[in-house]
Homo-oligomer: A and B are copies of this chain.
Amino acid sequence: MAYRRSPRVQQRLEDNRNRILSAARSLVAQGGFREASIVAVAGAADMSTGAVYRYFPSKSDLFVELLTDAVQRECAILRAIIAKPATAPDRLAAAVESFARRALSGPWLAYAFIIEPVDPEVEAARLVCRREFGSVFKEVVRQGVASGEFPEQSANVSAACIVGAFTEALARPVTPLAGRISKTRLVGEIVDFCCRAVGASPRAKR
């Protein structure tokens, strides 16, 4: 035998893999999945299309991993916010605001991850992610209802509506909203909307 992966090579391989993922992520962030063809991804990662297939068995797999990673990370952030000690309305507001801020910095990312359909495999992965994502919000709503901070309501439906509401307001490169008003104001309005929506008593204006 005359070849065994050395640590150095191992490292390079991992780097390559990450480079592919991050090239894909950045392409998606700029123009949605539409822009992220294998050729484009390979190009952005500075390798050949063939090489990409050495790291991912198919385009779908690549995107599924991308999606799962991103949502996982996002959920972790949101869960952390929600676990903090504070009133339910405050925590909800903080979570929405946090998500909104991040979404605005890469307008297509949220869109692509939450909405844009690709192929059935990715779609399946998204369904799981979406459910997990919604469950974070469901949690606060449920707590708020239990503690009497929010009126009686279906946490399931409200969570879905919340996700839908800010997604639509944020993740659409298409909405006329983007340029019209300042980002700060947009975020504020969305947060207010969501808080009112679950029935939190009106918050102080900032």
Contact = CB atoms under 8 A, between A and B. Distances in A.
Interface stretch (A5-13, A14-22, A197-205): A197-205
B123 A158 contact: no
B130 A156 contact: no
Given A156-B180, A164-B164, A165-B197, A173 B131 contact: no
Contacts of A151: 196, 202
A185 B158 CA distance: 13
A46 to B, nearest CB: 28
A169 interface: yes
Nearest to A117: B116
A193 B153 contact: yes
Contacts of A153: 189, 192-193
B193 A197 contact: yes
Contact of A197 (B172, B173, B175, B196): B196
Nearest to A186: B157
A14 to B, nearest CB: 33
Nearest to A180: B156
Interface of A: 32, 34, 115-117, 123, 126-127, 130-131, 134, 151, 153-154, 156-158, 160-169, 172-177, 180-181, 185-186, 189-190, 192-194, 196-199, 202
